[in-house]
């Protein structure tokens, strides 16, 4: 009978349970997605040259496990807050507390098990989808990766079963210990008031000092690579501490300041919103700090991942001046060349006697040759052109690589037109093209390079053109890039769902407040606006801090990456769009719970 009652209780709160289930499913889906990478040793070792990769992923697993536990904990509180009144009523009607605690145990565990199974399935699908999207979008080459990976599946199940087991035990114990009356009236438990101005001021100053130390350390160890082993732990500790203190005090101080400005606070519901926030922030300090740190790590991972993508461009453009090189183009190849967006085109002819290769000096006078030059110290490449090829070894090297492989080892001679005409052998013609952008013409260049290899199979191993350099380097960096993106997106989804849950678990307590405001004549529009504002601030505080952390944290990579701040708006935009999605979802769900 009681079981039936409990089930009917669930039916009546389908909406709340939908929120709970979807949240838990997201958690296990993300956990699986992450594990599918992290536990796949073949993938890790074949896609990253760095030994640190396994370590980074190990670190990632620990972090993700911690947030998942926190997350399940919030979800659990949400569940308990929904159910305690009902269970209190059963107890009042005479149900034994042992029976009730068994019921909550089964309920918690069942919810956990069902959501984990469905969530993992979603995780498998999502992993396939995300990886395909990433690989397609960024033209990546990823080896040994599959969206279904059994060890990851097992790890996810084991991990979630363990935490739900603990949650279930905790719920049943806490329910058994709580008095029936408290259970029945928990909604109306008073809010605690805290006033400690001096302590807050000290915290605010201390928080800013810690952040300053952390930022300085990152900047310093980025510019002095030797300091990095001490720098990273110091930065981690000071930034975590600084973030916590700043949110706990500085943000409250700003809110208080706004409250004191009566011209702002005494308008409409502003004062109510500010008070809600200042109370929330006290309660939310831990989660907001955690979210802002995670935000920084996730955004950092994506930014650095894309930084590797920029690295590809840099390295590839440093290899060759010309984007395309074609030997004796036939009609089909000529047609392909026409599809390119051509910036510069030159044609050089040569003859060979089996020992030497001969070019006409006059051809280079008429069409100066382009070449690239890498500065070994800065790893930056410089492009140039010259009409006096005899004196330029870089240009000679570039020219050598444009020939067919069998003639590359031969000595190059630059001769007069007369001497050239006297050589009695077949003439070979090389067409070199520089497009307006290698990346924008990538698909056409790829087709040309493939056709070229088909005509001259020796090119397959010898390479020499820009496209084969690109394939090599892209393969090298893609793995790192993929990991950065995947890590970033998984963390983001997790931290944003964490924040969403925390906010939603407080929603039940707000129903009464909003109902009262409605009764004394607040328009629905105004109520919705105040909810939007409140949730926006809760999302913005960690985001702003996180963005600052990343902007300064990139200093760590100034020596490692080519221009780490280049194209930074791309990862930021991707990240913010996803994060905004969570904001809109949260406020929609919140309003569904709170407003009529």
Partner 1 sequence: MEKIVEVQNVEKIYGKAGEKQFKALSDVNFEVKPGEFVGIMGASGSGKTTLLNILSTLDTPTSGQVEIAGQDITKLNNNQMADFRANKIGFIFQDFNLLENLTAYENIALPLALQNKPVKSIKPSVMSIAEKLGLTDILNHYPTELSGGQKQRVAAARALVHQPSIVFGDEPTGALDSKSARALLDTLTKINREDNVSILLVTHDPFSASFCDRILFIKDGEIGQELKKEDATRAEYYQEILDSLGTFAE
C-alpha closest to that of 48 among 145, 116, 166: 145
Stretch that binds partner 1, among 141-149, 276-284, 354-362, 458-466 (CB under 8 A): 276-284
| Binding-site size, partner 1 (CB under 8 A) | 30
What's the min distance (Å) between Cβ of 84 and partner 1? 20
Total residue length of the chain: 596
Burial class (CB in 10 A: 0-12, 13-18, 19+), 220: middle
Nearer to partner 1, 216 or 518 (CB): 518
Asked if residue 523 binds partner 1 (CB under 8 A), the reply is yes
CA 385 – CA 185 distance, rounded (Å): 82
**362 binds partner 1 per the rule CB under 8 A:** no
Least CB distance from residue 585 to partner 1, whole Å? 25
Based on the shown chain and the rule CB under 8 A, indicate whether residue 285 belongs to the binding site for partner 1.
no
Which residue's CB is nearer to partner 1, number 126 or number 527?
527
Nearer to partner 1, 8 or 266 (CB): 266
Residue 314 CA to residue 303 CA, distance in Å, equals: 16
Q: What is the 3-state secondary structure (H, E, C) of 60-125?
A: HHHHHHHHHHHHHHHHHHHHHHHHHHHHHHHHHCCCCHHHHHHHHHHHHHHHHHHHHHHHHHHHHH
With CB under 8 A as the contact rule, the residue among 365, 390, 450, 513 that binds partner 1 is: 513
Q: Does 262 bind partner 1 (CB under 8 A)?
A: yes
Q: Are 469 and 463 in contact (CB under 8 A)?
A: yes
Angle between helices 466-505 and 270-319 (to 10 degrees): 170
41 lies in the binding site for partner 1 (CB under 8 A):
no
**Identity of the residue, 132 or 512, whose beta carbon is nearer to partner 1 in the bound complex:** 512
Cα separation, 108 vs 166, in Å, equals 10
Give DSSP secondary structure letters for 428-492: EEEEEEEES-TTTTHHHHHHHHHHHHHH-TTHHHH--SHHHHHHHHHHHHHHHHHHHHHHHHHHH
C-beta of 366 vs 525, nearer to partner 1: 525
Tell whether residue 263 is a contact of partner 1 (CB under 8 A): yes
Asked if 49 touches partner 1 (CB under 8 A), the answer is no
Residue with tokens 């030994």, as numbered in its chain: 51
Residue 26 near residue 120 (C-beta atoms within 8 A): no
Among 275, 314, 327, 394, binds partner 1 (CB under 8 A): 275
Tokens of 505: 């678990």
Q: Does 21 help bind partner 1 (rule: CB under 8 A)?
A: no
By CB under 8 A, is residue 286 in contact with partner 1?
no
Minimum CB separation from partner 1 for residue 589, in Å? 22
Please tell me whether residue 525 binds partner 1 under the rule CB under 8 A.
yes
**77 touches partner 1 by CB under 8 A:** no
Q: Does 489 bind partner 1 (CB under 8 A)?
A: no
Q: CB-wise, 390 or 523, nearer to partner 1?
A: 523
CA distances to 39, 301, 502, 523, 526 from 266, rounded to whole Å, are 56, 43, 29, 17, 15
Site for partner 1 in 176-235 (CB under 8 A): 190-193
269 binds partner 1 (CB under 8 A): yes
Q: Which residues bind partner 1 (CB under 8 A)?
A: 190-193, 262-263, 266-272, 275-276, 278-279, 512-513, 516-526
């Amino acid at each position: 009978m009681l079981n039936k009652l409990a089930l009917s209780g669930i039916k009546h709160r389908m909406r709340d349970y939908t929120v709970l289930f979807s949240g838990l499913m997201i958690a296990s889906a993300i956990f699986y997605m992450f594990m599918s990478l992290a536990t796949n040793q073949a993938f890790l070792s074949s896609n990253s040259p760095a030994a640190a990769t396994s370590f980074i992923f190990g670190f990632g697993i620990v972090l993700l496990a911690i947030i998942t536990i926190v997350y399940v904990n919030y979800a659990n509180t949400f569940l308990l807050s929904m159910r305690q009144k009902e269970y209190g009523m059963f107890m009042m009607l005479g149900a034994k507390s042992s029976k009730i605690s068994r019921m909550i145990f089964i309920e918690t565990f069942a919810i956990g098990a069902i959501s984990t199974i469905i969530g993992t399935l979603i995780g498998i699908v999502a992993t396939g989808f995300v990886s395909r999207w990433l690989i397609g979008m960024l033209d990546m080459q990823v080896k040994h990766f599959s969206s279904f990976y059994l060890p990851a599946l097992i790890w996810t199940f084991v991990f979630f079963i363990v935490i739900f087991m603990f949650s279930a035990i905790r719920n049943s114990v806490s329910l058994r210990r709580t008095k029936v009356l408290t259970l029945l009236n928990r909604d109306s438990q008073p809010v605690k008031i805290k006033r400690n101005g001096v302590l807050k001021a000290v915290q605010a100053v201390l928080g800013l000092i810690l952040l300053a130390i952390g930022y300085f350390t990152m900047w310093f160890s980025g510019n002095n690579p030797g300091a990095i082993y001490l720098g990273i732990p110091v930065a981690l500790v000071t930034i975590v501490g600084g973030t916590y203190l700043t949110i706990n005090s500085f943000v409250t101080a700003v809110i208080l300041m706004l409250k004191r400005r009566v011209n702002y606070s005494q308008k409409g519901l502003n004062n109510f919103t500010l008070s809600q926030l200042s109370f929330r922030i006290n309660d939310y300090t831990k989660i907001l700090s955690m979210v802002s740190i995670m935000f920084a790590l996730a955004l950092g991972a994506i930014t650095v991942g894309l930084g590797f993508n920029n690295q590809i461009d840099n390295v590839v453009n440093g290899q060759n001046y010309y984007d395309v090189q074609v030997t004796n183009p036939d009609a089909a190849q000529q047609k392909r060349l026409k599809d390119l967006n051509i910036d510069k085109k030159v044609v050089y002819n040569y003859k060979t006697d089996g020992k030497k290769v001969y070019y006409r000096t006059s051809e280079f006078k008429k069409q100066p040759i382009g070449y690239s030059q890498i500065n070994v110290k800065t790893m930056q490449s410089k492009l140039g052109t010259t009409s006096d090829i005899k004196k330029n070894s870089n240009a000679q090297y570039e020219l050598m690589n444009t020939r067919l492989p069998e003639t590359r080892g031969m000595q190059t001679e630059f001769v007069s037109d007369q001497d050239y005409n006297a050589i009695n052998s077949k003439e070979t013609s090389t067409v070199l093209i520089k497009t307006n952008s290698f990346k924008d013409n990538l698909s056409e260049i790829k087709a040309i390079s493939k056709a070229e290899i088909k005509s001259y199979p020796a090119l397959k191993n010898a390479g020499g053109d820009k496209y084969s350099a690109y394939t090599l380097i892209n393969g090298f960096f893609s793995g790192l890039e993929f990991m950065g993106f995947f890590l970033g997106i998984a963390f983001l989804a997790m931290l944003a769902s964490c924040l969403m849950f925390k906010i939603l678990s407080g929603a039940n307590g707000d129903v009464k407040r909003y109902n009262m405001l409605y009764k004394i004549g607040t328009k629905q529009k105004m109520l919705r606006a105040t909810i939007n504002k409140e949730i926006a601030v809760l999302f913005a505080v960690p985001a702003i801090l996180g963005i600052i952390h990343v902007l300064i944290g990139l200093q760590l990579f100034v020596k490692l990456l080519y221009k780490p701040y280049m194209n930074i708006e791309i990862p930021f935009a991707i990240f913010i769009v996803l994060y905004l999605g969570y904001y809109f979802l949260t406020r929609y769900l919140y309003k569904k719970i709170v407003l009529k």
